[in-house]
Structure 1
Amino acid sequence: MTQNVARHGIPSGPGAEALAQRLADHLAGEIDGLESSTELIESTFSTSLLVLNARCAVDPRAARAETWDAAVNAMQLGSAVFAVTGTREGSVDARINRRLRTLPAAGPSSMADAGAWLTAFWLAVVCREQERMTRLCEIRLDRLRSPDGRYDEYVYHWIDTLQTYWLRRPGLVEKLTATLRASDPAIARNVPRDMLQGLLHPPINLFHHFVRKDEEGFSPALVEALKLHKAYWTLTEDRSTDIDGAVALGPLAIACLVRRATPDRRRIRVPAQAPPDARLAGRVPDMSRMPTPRRGVMASRGAEQARGTAVPQGACVPGEARHRYAPLSEEPHDDESAPARRSGA
C-alpha cells in the first residue's frame, strides 16, 4: 500500500521559472569568480542550494536536466568548501559547473562547520558520489567544531555516526545511541524545538530504523519524516512560500543509502510529494512507468559535470514498503557501495 504526502504550496509557474533561471545565471558568475578568490565560496555554496530549491519548486518530478545540473553544482561546491579550507597554501583542483577549476586555498575557516558538512554529505549521497562521501568522512571532527558552540553536541555525534558507518569503523551502534540521546529536545537547546523535531531529528530516526534492520518501520518513518517536513514549512505563512522547503534533503539522502544497501535492489515504495520526486526527492513514482529516455538525459549531463556521477534510472527512488536491509552491525556489512569505499580517495 502506498501513501501520498501532498506537497505544500510552494510558488511555481512562469514567475518561479524565471526566478530559477536568474538565480542559476547569477550562480554561474559566482562560480567563475572562485578561480580568482575563494573568500566568498560559502556564499556561492548557499546560492547553489537556493538554485537547487528553486529548480525543484518548478520541477516537482525532478525530471529536467536543469534540476540535475543544480544538484550536481551544489554537491561540487559543498565538497569544494572543505577542499579549499583543508589547506593553507597553494591551490586545489575542483570540478564545478562542467569545468575543472583551480581554486586558491583558503585555510581553516568557520564556514567549513558541522552544518555545512551534513549538507555536503547529503548532496554527495544523493548524487551517488562515493569518492566525495569518503573524502568528507575522513575529515576529523575537531575540524568541524564551531568555537562559539553554535551546534549542540548531538550534531557531532551524528556526524561521527555517519562517518563510522561509511568508513566501516567500529562502534556504530554506540555512536548512534549517543546521537539519539543527545538529540532529545530536553538536551539539545541550541536550535528551535520545531526545527529539531521537524527537520533535524527525522534523518536520525530513519537511520536508526536502518541500523536496526527494521523492515516494517522504515517506510512509515519515511512518510512521517515527510509529514514533519511539510508541517515545519507550513507552520507560518512566510515559511509556506519559502523555496528552502522544496527539498527534504536529509530524509532523501537516508532513503538513498538504504536503497543502495538493499541486497535485492528493491525500492522503498513510499510515494510522497513533500520534496520533489523522481531522482532527487519527493513523490516517488512507479519507475516502471517512467519513460526510459529520461535516463539518457540525466546520465549524459551528469557524466559531463561530475565525471560519471549520473543517477541511473530508479536510483535513490523508494520502492516496495517491505524491503530487506543489508546487515549492519559491528561486523563488516554487505553494502557494496560502502568503501572498501576508498576507490580513488
Structure 2
Amino acid sequence: MLDLPAPPPLPPLIPHLGYGRAPLPPGWLFFGAARQALKFLASRLRSEHPDLVFVVPAYTCDSVIQAIDESGAGLDFADVDASLDMDMPSLQEALARHTGKPVALVPTPLFGAPVRDYKRLFPDCIVIEDRAQTVPDPGSRADYQLLSFGPGKQVSGMGGGALIGAQGLQASHLALETECGALKHMAMAMVGNFLLGPGWSLAGQRVAQRHGQEGLEKQSRDIIPVRLCDGRARWISSSLATWDATQRLSIADRYHAGTAPEHRFDIPTGLPYLRYPVRTPVVGAGVSSGDMYERVVARAEDTLGRPLPGARALAQASLLPTHRRVTPAHIGYYLGQLRGSETRLP
C-alpha cells in the first residue's frame, strides 16, 4: 500500500500582489470591498425598480446575501449544477415565480468556472456577474461585473472591490467618503508575502478555517459603501496587469488529469481556478472545505422548501489549492487520497 509522506505545510489561498501603479481602467468604480460595491449598485437599482428581485446561486458568499438584504430588494435562489453554474430548471422556476417583476440575475463563476451568457439568454433581466473569485472578462455581455480584491482572491489589494458597467453612477460614487491607506496596505501585502513562507503557512490555514465565523461577524455590521482612493485603485490596477494565470492553470489541469471522473465536477480544463473543487474528502494542509457557504445553502433550502443537491455537493466538497506555493509533492499527496491510497496525514 502506497505511503505518501506529508508535504510541507502551506495556506489554502495566496493571491497575486504587485507593487506598481497603473492607469485606472476607464469606467471602473472602486470601493472598499466588493460587498460595498454590490450594496451600492443594488440600492440604486432598487430605487429605479422598487419591486426588483435578485436571483442568486444557492451556493454563494454570505456577503452577497447581506448586501442584497440591506438594499431592501427581493431575493430568490437557484440551485447550481455539476458545472458550478446556475441550474437551468431551477432558474426557470425562480423566474416563473416572479413573472412581471424586474429581475436581476447574479451568475457567479465559482472558483473561476465559466458561466453562461445570461444576457443573451435572458435579455430582459439585469445581469450582474459576480466575478469575485476570478478576474474581469472584457468579452462579457453582462450589464455589470463585480470584482473583489480581498486577501484570498486571484488578485489582492489587501481589500477592495470594483464595479464595471456603472459609469452612469459615477457622480454618486464620487460623493462617497474615501478610504485610502495605500502605503499601509502595500506594506501589509509585502509583510504578508514574507510571512506566507513555510514557517507561517499554518497561520494562513487557520485564517481560512475561521472564514465562516468572520462571515457571520460581518453580517452583524451594516455594509457602508466607501470609495477607494486613486492610489490604492492604481496599485490594484497594476496587480491586475501583472497577474499570470499560467501556474494556476497548470496545477488545476494536473488535478483534473489525476482525478477519476466520479470525483470531479463538470468543469473544463485550461482555466486558472482559485481553488479546485473535488467531490471526495481530502485532508491536508492547504486543503479547505466547501462548507464556508453552508448558511447560504441552508437559507436557500429553507426559502425553496426542498433540498438543493447541487449546492449541497459543493458544501461537502474539498477545495484543493492552486497557488504558487503548491509543489508536485502536494499535488501527489492530494491525488493519492483521491485514488484511495492510505496516506499519513500532516
Q: TM-score, normalised by structure 2?
A: 0.27
Which structure shows the bigger proportion of residues in helix conformation?
Answer: 1
More strand by share: 2
Larger-Rg structure: 2
TM norm structure 1:
0.27
